[in-house]
């Protein structure tokens, strides 16, 4: 009799658990098995709901990084809204010829969180690199000045992020991007 009561209790518990588990969560915007689509203009607002999940997005390529094609940026109707797309691990680099093309991207939403501690370390590393560069003998080689300029730009970015962080009243700033799994040009 005791075994029968235990079996009934376990069965009832499993039934109740599966009933609650079947309720859809509020952040699912596509039927099960389909990749959710995010409008590029809504990406910053909705990306936090999809971190680590695959989504679909379409936009126009406005920039492909010239240093290896590891990143591209797409935009939608509003040219001020840009989404960073990074190439997936087993993908070929993005080609510069993609600029100006409309693309459909399947990718995983990633987040980079920037805190005051992160900014402190980043600034320290940049300043150490600048100091090391100045200690090397200047040979007049082309590009040396550009390297210094890039470091100064980075310090300005850090300063701006500190300002954003202070104004946000949050402990971290979240920057979202898509790690591309696949893409195709839309003709």
Residue 7 scores a pLDDT above 80: no
Domain boundaries, the chain: 40-114+173-186, 115-168
The pLDDT of residue 16? 36
Confidence of residue 32 (pLDDT cuts 50, 70, 90): low
The CATH class of the 40-114+173-186 domain is mainly beta
SS3 per residue for the chain: CHHHHHHHHHHHHHHHHHHHHCCCCCCCCCCCCCCCECCHHHHHHHHHHHECCEEEEEEEEEEECCCCCCEEEEECCCCCCEEEEEECCCCCCCCHHHCCCEEEEEEEEEEEEEEHHHHHHHHHHHHHHHHHHHHCCCCCCCCHHHHHHHHHHHHHHHHHHHHHHHHHCCCEEEEEEEEEEEEEEEC
For the entire predicted model, the pTM comes to 0.68
| Per-residue pLDDT tens over the stretch 53-112 | 999 999 999 999 988 899 999 999 888 899 999 999 888 999 999 999 999 999 999 999
Confidence of residue 21 (pLDDT cuts 50, 70, 90): very low
């Amino acid at each position: 009799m005791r075994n029968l009561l235990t079996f009934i209790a376990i069965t009832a518990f499993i039934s109740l658990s599966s009933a609650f588990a079947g309720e859809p969560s509020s952040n699912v915007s596509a039927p099960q098995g389909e990749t959710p689509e995010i409008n590029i203009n809504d990406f910053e607002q909705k990306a936090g709901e999809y971190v680590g999940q695959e989504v679909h997005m379409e936009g126009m390529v406005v920039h492909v990084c010239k240093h290896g094609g590891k990143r591209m940026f797409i935009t939608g109707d509003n040219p001020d809204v840009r989404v960073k797309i990074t190439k997936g691990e087993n993908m070929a680099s993005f080609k510069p010829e993609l600029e100006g093309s409309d693309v459909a991207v399947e990718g995983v939403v990633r987040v980079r969180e920037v805190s005051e501690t992160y900014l402190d370390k980043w600034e320290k590393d940049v300043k150490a690199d600048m100091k090391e560069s100045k200690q090397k003998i200047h040979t007049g080689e082309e590009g040396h000045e550009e390297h210094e300029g890039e470091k100064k730009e980075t310090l300005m970015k850090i300063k701006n992020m500190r300002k954003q962080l202070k104004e946000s009243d949050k402990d971290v700033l979240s920057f979202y991007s898509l790690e591309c799994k696949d893409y195709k040009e839309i003709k």
